[in-house]
Chain A
Amino acid sequence: MTGVVITGWSTVSPAGVGRAALAAAAATVPAVATVPAAATVPVGASAGGGWPVEPLPAAPVDVTALSDEPLPTTTGHALVDFDVRAHLGRKGTSFYDRATALAVVACGDALRDAAVQVDDGNRARLGVVLGTSLGSFRSTSDYTRETLVQDKPYLVNPVLFPNTVMNCAAGQAAIRHGLRGVNATVATGPLAFLDALRYGTNAIARGYVDAMLVGAVEEFSPHRAWTTSLTGQPVPTGEAAAVFLLARADQSGWVGPRREAEVLALATAYGPGGGPAADRALTGCVTRAVRRAGIDPAEITCVFTGETGPEDTDEFAPACAALGHVPARMRVSRLFGRCDAATGGLALATFLAAPPTDAAGRLALLTARSPDGGTAVAIVRGWPDAGPADR
């Protein structure tokens, strides 16, 4: 038990801005029962937890408006009409890159959702940690491009220089919302949201802050779309920011009446070289997290994985091996495309957006894995008395 609770959240995703938009999108996609390939049912696991039930893949949208450059495909998962000025006005926002804009809007909306008023009395005790793959690939690459194509390589835009640094979004979120506590950026790609959750939980548990905005962001850009295409990824490029307000359960000033979920356990490990070593690392993470959470693994009825491919069980199979049964599986990439760092955040939001049914609350296991062998998991309990109906 970490003693850390989630008291509000927001996402900016292809579904729109805010929790209601995400909940609506998740609810309108019809679910289909899919029998997993034989390989996904590990030896010794029973299928008692139910077959995976997942939504059908959402249809990608026309994204050509988001790029002056040719794109490898005309469609993707993006919030094409997102306009930061509609949310934050012009002042201070016109030099944001897209990733920064998505993140700053999601941070503000999460604060509102958690009913946190930031003022001089609490801003030093409130921080933010955001996950990313490499910040804005577009900002960085475009800056370099300017040094290559200009007559003089140093005629670059000084105002855009901070956008080339990976902590830009977290720094701008702090400026916009006045957050003076721990401010961090975790750059571990597909692991980044769960790593940010761990980083933020640690900052609270160690007493460095009372509360943290924890999230992750990826923007749609031609740079990411071409990376998806050229490296042969099966799922279209997506974009999202997902941000959660975390606070210590015993801090009534921060938590108030709104408790939505508790972070029960987090674990991370590395399987050098990937492959079977990473399988073992992920199985070990799940086993350790279940032990720390003090739960019966049979209570885990759904696993949210970062898998993207139709046949991919790189996360699900090791997780099932550790749990000893085959729970339902949810791959949020089917709804939101390939969102890299933001994937775990979308998974947690999708879990919390579903209306609670069980009076005892529900447990979710979230998993993530990187191509090199990084793995991370979280176990979260969604409380039944704080679902969408509360809001």
Chain B
Amino acid sequence: MNRVVVTGLGPVSSIGIGVSAFTDGLREGRSGISPIRSFDASGFPHRNAGEVPGFRPEALLRRIDPARWGRSGQFAAAAARLALADSGLDPATVAVDRAGVVVGTTSGESVVVEAVTAQQVEAGFGGMDPDLLRQVPAGRLAHAVSTELELAGESLTLATACSASNYAIGYAYDTLATGEADVMFAGGADSVCRWAHAGFFRLGALTADACSPFDRDRSGILTGEGGAILMLETLEHARHRGARIYAEVLGYGLNCDANHPVAPDRASIAACMRAAHRNASIKPEDVDYICAHGTGTPANDSVEAQAIFDVFGDRVPPVSSIKSMIGHTMGAASGFGAIAGTLAIAHGFLPPTINWANPDPALVGLDPVPNTARQASVRVVQNNGFAFGGNNAIVLIGAVE
């Protein structure tokens, strides 16, 4: 089995586009939340989200035409373009069919679906624009990356909702470990959309202004968007080209609650952590930092923390949620978590949970790294991702030994 390392990072986020801006955002505990501009939110009681208003696809993309691809595909392609640049890899040195893409998503080309739906309401089904209908398939998220970077290897979109980036990183890791590929771009993308905003509001899971995970008074998520892609390659390939290596993907674990479409399940999440540790050949005490799913809903944070207590006992590492800064970026969320975790290892700091004011008496023993980033030596990061459908996925990332 090949060892697999992270050598390029491509965040397109509300707190920064590109690895340097994103790192600064995490260190400063920046908030990317702003009033919604991508749709008319005036009829909603809550009107904030983690949009990426500074995203200018034409400034980042070289090959794909933004007019022919949806916003989520553009996020994915731009993030992959940034990851490639960050890696210093000369694509000409890689056999094209040995380089592939796996992109995770919750809602795919949601903005396009909303546009054709508005046309339906306006003019009936026959009024839908055929060019937009061709942009609807979710598979185009991975295809946007493959087209942008001219990659001839696998081009896979995994739609396992809000843990989809961890699925993508895990599958890409397998592809590299088994020798199917030399280089893989993996992560996720999603766009802020009206239907998710409405749905989360209706569930009572959407907060008004600030997401405050693990706080006593936490009251829900804010939706977010962006693209988060990591460039992974085999250790051998990275060393051969003299690459700067950020960290190693140690392994991952997946399981399914098989219980409820939206409610998290403590025992199942704990089982997923144990599976991830086993697959990565580590023990709980090896974990220095948990990049939490940490949505900021009362239920998720409580269940996630209890599962962590179950697995880690009295040695619970610091647990923070970057969703406090960028909102819940859905299918991209665990991709941003993986990037943050990689940066934590590479630069020796813990990203904070911002908007945190009061400890939750039910979560005694949990250190959420409140409000301010902290210097720390980080060798192993556990990156949590949970989702509707009970799709749990956890990736372990470690310093290269």
Specify whether A and B are partners: yes
Hey, which chain A residues are within 8 Å of B390, CB to CB? Answer: 171, 174-175, 183
Contacting residues of chain A (97-141) with chain B, CB-CB under 8 angstroms:
123-124, 127-128, 132-135, 137, 140-141
Hey, which chain A residues are within 8 Å of B324, CB to CB? Answer: none
> Once the chains are docked, how many angstroms separate the CA of A141 from the CA of B116?
8
Hey, which chain B residues are within 8 Å of A147, CB to CB? Answer: 194-195, 198
Hey, which chain A residues are within 8 Å of B389, CB to CB? Answer: 162, 165, 167-168, 170-172, 174, 183, 185
* Contact size range, A: 35 or more
- Say if the beta carbon of A53 comes within 8 Å of chain B: no
Hey, which chain B residues are within 8 Å of A180, CB to CB? Answer: 255-258, 268, 271
- Say if the beta carbon of B345 comes within 8 Å of chain A: no
Question: In whole Å, how far is B329's beta carbon from the nearest beta carbon of chain A?
Answer: 15
> Which residue in chain A gives the minimum CB-CB distance to B148?
A272
Assuming the contacts A124-B271, A182-B256, A188-B139, asked whether A143 and B199 have C-beta atoms less than 8 A apart, the reply is yes
Hey, which chain B residues are within 8 Å of A153, CB to CB? Answer: 43-44, 194, 198
- Say if the beta carbon of A306 comes within 8 Å of chain B: no
Main secondary structure of the interface of B (DSSP, over half): mixed
B138 partner, pick from A134, A184, A206, A208, beta carbons under 8 A: A134
> Once the chains are docked, how many angstroms separate the CA of A278 from the CA of B259?
42
B108 touching A164, Cβ below 8 Å: no
Stretch of A9-17, A316-324, A357-365, A366-374 at the chain-chain interface: A366-374
> Once the chains are docked, how many angstroms separate the CA of A195 from the CA of B167?
14
- Say if the beta carbon of B133 comes within 8 Å of chain A: yes
- Say if the beta carbon of B143 comes within 8 Å of chain A: yes
Question: In whole Å, how far is A247's beta carbon from the nearest beta carbon of chain B?
Answer: 18
A373 touching B198, Cβ below 8 Å: no
Main secondary structure of the interface of A (DSSP, over half): mixed
> Which residue in chain B gives the minimum CB-CB distance to A183?
B256
- Say if the beta carbon of A44 comes within 8 Å of chain B: no
- Say if the beta carbon of B388 comes within 8 Å of chain A: yes
A208 touching B258, Cβ below 8 Å: no
Assuming the contacts A153-B194, A180-B257, asked whether A137 and B391 have C-beta atoms less than 8 A apart, the reply is no
Hey, which chain A residues are within 8 Å of B151, CB to CB? Answer: 270, 272
Hey, which chain B residues are within 8 Å of A60, CB to CB? Answer: none
Interface-central residue, B124, B138, B387, by most chain A CB under 10 Å: B138
Question: In whole Å, how far is A226's beta carbon from the nearest beta carbon of chain B?
Answer: 4
Contacting residues of chain B (230-268) with chain A, CB-CB under 8 angstroms:
253-262, 268
B139 partner, pick from A133, A168, A178, beta carbons under 8 A: A133
- Say if the beta carbon of A255 comes within 8 Å of chain B: no
> Once the chains are docked, how many angstroms separate the CA of A148 from the CA of B372?
41
> Once the chains are docked, how many angstroms separate the CA of A150 from the CA of B156?
37
13 contacts between A and B (CB under 8 A): A140-B113, A161-B202, A171-B256, A174-B390, A182-B256, A183-B389, A185-B389, A186-B156, A188-B156, A188-B157, A192-B139, A195-B156, A227-B128
